[in-house]
Chains A and B, each alone.
Chain A
Amino acid sequence: MKQEIFRARALPWWLCAPQLLVLFLFFYLPIILAFFWAFHLEQPFGGGSQFVGFANFRRVLGSGEFWSSARATLAYMVLASGSSVGTALVLALAADRRLRLSGIARNIFLWPKAVASASIGVIFVFLLNPYLGIPAPLNEIWPGLWNPRTNPLHAYAMLFVANVWSAIPFSFIILLAGLQAIPEELHKAGAIDGAGPWRRLRDIQLPLLTPQLFVVVVLEVADSLSGSFGLIDTMTRGGPGGATNLLVYKIYSDGFKAYDLSGAATQTVILMALVAVVTGAQYLFLERRVRYDR
Chain B
Amino acid sequence: MTATNAPAAIGLHGLRKSYGATEVLPALEAELRGGEFTVILGPSGCGKSTLLNCIAGLERLSAGRITIAGREVQEAEPKDRGIAMVFQNYALYPHMSVAGNIGYALKVARVPRAEREARIAAAARIVDLGDYLHRRPSELSGGQRQRVAIARAVVREPQVLLYDEPLSNLDAKLRQDMRMELAGLHRRIGATSVFVTHDQVEAMTLADRIMVLNRGRIEQFATPQEIYHAPATAFVAGFIGAPAMTLLDVAGEGGWLRLSDGTVLARHRHQGAALLGIRPEQVLADPAGVPARVIYREDLGAHSVLTLQLGDGSRLQMAAGPGRPVAASSDIRIALPAGALHLFDPLTGRAFARHPVPSDAMKVQDDAIPS
Q: Which chain A residues have a beta carbon within 8 Å of chain B's beta carbons?
A: 183, 185-186, 188-195, 199, 203-204, 207-208, 291, 293-294
A193 to B152 alpha-carbon distance, docked (Å): 9
Q: Interface centre among A194, A195, A293, by most B CB within 10 Å? A: A194
CB distance B108 to A191 under 8 Å?
no
18 other A-B residue contacts (CB within 8 Å) besides A188-B87, A189-B152: A183-B89, A185-B91, A186-B93, A188-B56, A188-B85, A189-B92, A191-B57, A192-B78, A192-B79, A193-B156, A195-B104, A199-B108, A203-B93, A204-B93, A207-B95, A293-B95, A293-B137, A293-B138
- 24 A-B residue pairs with Cβ-Cβ distance under 8 Å, sorted by A, are A183-B89, A183-B91, A185-B88, A186-B93, A188-B87, A189-B91, A189-B152, A191-B78, A191-B79, A192-B57, A192-B58, A192-B105, A193-B79, A194-B78, A194-B108, A194-B109, A195-B104, A203-B104, A291-B94, A293-B94, A293-B136, A293-B137, A293-B138, A294-B138
Q: Which of B70-123 contact A (CB under 8 A)?
A: 77-79, 83-85, 87-89, 91-95, 104-105, 108-109
| CB of B193 to closest CB in A, whole Å | 15
Task: Determine the chain B residues whose CB is within 8 A of the CB of A191 once the complex forms.
Answer: 57-58, 77-79
Task: Determine the chain A residues whose CB is within 8 A of the CB of B88 once the complex forms.
Answer: 185
CB distance B79 to A194 under 8 Å?
yes
A183 to B92 alpha-carbon distance, docked (Å): 10
The one of A186, A195, A208, A294 that contacts B108, using a Cβ cutoff of 8 Å: A195
A192 to B93 alpha-carbon distance, docked (Å): 13
Chain B residue nearest to A193 in the complex (CB): B105
A42 to B110 alpha-carbon distance, docked (Å): 68
Chain B residue nearest to A186 in the complex (CB): B91
Q: Which of B166-216 contact A (CB under 8 A)?
A: none
CB distance B108 to A189 under 8 Å?
no
| CB of B246 to closest CB in A, whole Å | 39
A191 to B60 alpha-carbon distance, docked (Å): 14
- With an 8 Å Cβ cutoff, the count of chain B residues facing the other chain is 27
Q: 1/0 per residue B140-180: CB within 8 Å of A?
A: 00000000000010001000000000000000000000000
A208 to B96 alpha-carbon distance, docked (Å): 10
A230 to B61 alpha-carbon distance, docked (Å): 54
Task: Determine the chain B residues whose CB is within 8 A of the CB of A183 once the complex forms.
Answer: 89, 91
CB distance B78 to A291 under 8 Å?
no
A170 to B159 alpha-carbon distance, docked (Å): 47
Task: Determine the chain A residues whose CB is within 8 A of the CB of B137 once the complex forms.
Answer: 293
Task: Determine the chain B residues whose CB is within 8 A of the CB of A194 once the complex forms.
Answer: 78-79, 105, 108-109
| CB of A196 to closest CB in B, whole Å | 8
CB distance B93 to A189 under 8 Å?
yes
Task: Determine the chain A residues whose CB is within 8 A of the CB of B109 once the complex forms.
Answer: 194
Chain B residue nearest to A199 in the complex (CB): B108
CB distance B94 to A208 under 8 Å?
yes
Task: Determine the chain B residues whose CB is within 8 A of the CB of A188 once the complex forms.
Answer: 53, 56, 58, 85, 87, 91
Q: Which chain B residues have a beta carbon within 8 Å of chain A's beta carbons?
A: 53, 56-58, 77-79, 83-85, 87-89, 91-95, 104-105, 108-109, 136-138, 152, 156
Task: Determine the chain A residues whose CB is within 8 A of the CB of B57 once the complex forms.
Answer: 191-192
A208 to B78 alpha-carbon distance, docked (Å): 23
CB distance A294 to B94 under 8 Å?
yes
| CB of B57 to closest CB in A, whole Å | 8
Chain B residue nearest to A191 in the complex (CB): B78
Task: Determine the chain A residues whose CB is within 8 A of the CB of B93 once the complex forms.
Answer: 186, 189-190, 203-204
Chain A residue nearest to B139 in the complex (CB): A293
Task: Determine the chain B residues whose CB is within 8 A of the CB of A199 once the complex forms.
Answer: 108
A131 to B243 alpha-carbon distance, docked (Å): 82
Task: Determine the chain B residues whose CB is within 8 A of the CB of A204 once the complex forms.
Answer: 93
Task: Determine the chain A residues whose CB is within 8 A of the CB of B89 once the complex forms.
Answer: 183, 185
Task: Determine the chain A residues whose CB is within 8 A of the CB of B84 once the complex forms.
Answer: 192
CB distance A208 to B95 under 8 Å?
yes
Task: Determine the chain B residues whose CB is within 8 A of the CB of A291 once the complex forms.
Answer: 94-95
Task: Determine the chain B residues whose CB is within 8 A of the CB of A195 once the complex forms.
Answer: 104, 108
A199 to B109 alpha-carbon distance, docked (Å): 12
A191 to B83 alpha-carbon distance, docked (Å): 11
Q: Interface centre among B56, B85, B91, by most A CB within 10 Å? A: B91
Chain B residue nearest to A294 in the complex (CB): B94
| CB of B155 to closest CB in A, whole Å | 10
Chain A residue nearest to B156 in the complex (CB): A193
A207 to B93 alpha-carbon distance, docked (Å): 10
| CB of B160 to closest CB in A, whole Å | 11
A165 to B57 alpha-carbon distance, docked (Å): 39
A189 to B78 alpha-carbon distance, docked (Å): 10
Please name the 4 residue pairs, one residue from A and one from B, whose CB atoms are nearest each other, closest first: A194-B79, A185-B91, A193-B105, A189-B91
Task: Determine the chain A residues whose CB is within 8 A of the CB of B77 once the complex forms.
Answer: 191
CB distance A189 to B87 under 8 Å?
yes
CB distance B85 to A192 under 8 Å?
yes
A185 to B136 alpha-carbon distance, docked (Å): 18
CB distance B87 to A185 under 8 Å?
yes
Task: Determine the chain A residues whose CB is within 8 A of the CB of B87 once the complex forms.
Answer: 185, 188-189
| CB of A291 to closest CB in B, whole Å | 4
A291 to B77 alpha-carbon distance, docked (Å): 30
Task: Determine the chain A residues whose CB is within 8 A of the CB of B136 once the complex forms.
Answer: 293
Task: Determine the chain A residues whose CB is within 8 A of the CB of B152 once the complex forms.
Answer: 189, 193
Task: Determine the chain A residues whose CB is within 8 A of the CB of B105 once the complex forms.
Answer: 192-194
A199 to B88 alpha-carbon distance, docked (Å): 24
| CB of A185 to closest CB in B, whole Å | 4
A35 to B53 alpha-carbon distance, docked (Å): 64
Task: Determine the chain B residues whose CB is within 8 A of the CB of A192 once the complex forms.
Answer: 56-58, 78-79, 83-85, 105
A78 to B84 alpha-carbon distance, docked (Å): 44
Q: Interface centre among A188, A193, A204, A294, by most B CB within 10 Å? A: A193
Chain A residue nearest to B90 in the complex (CB): A185
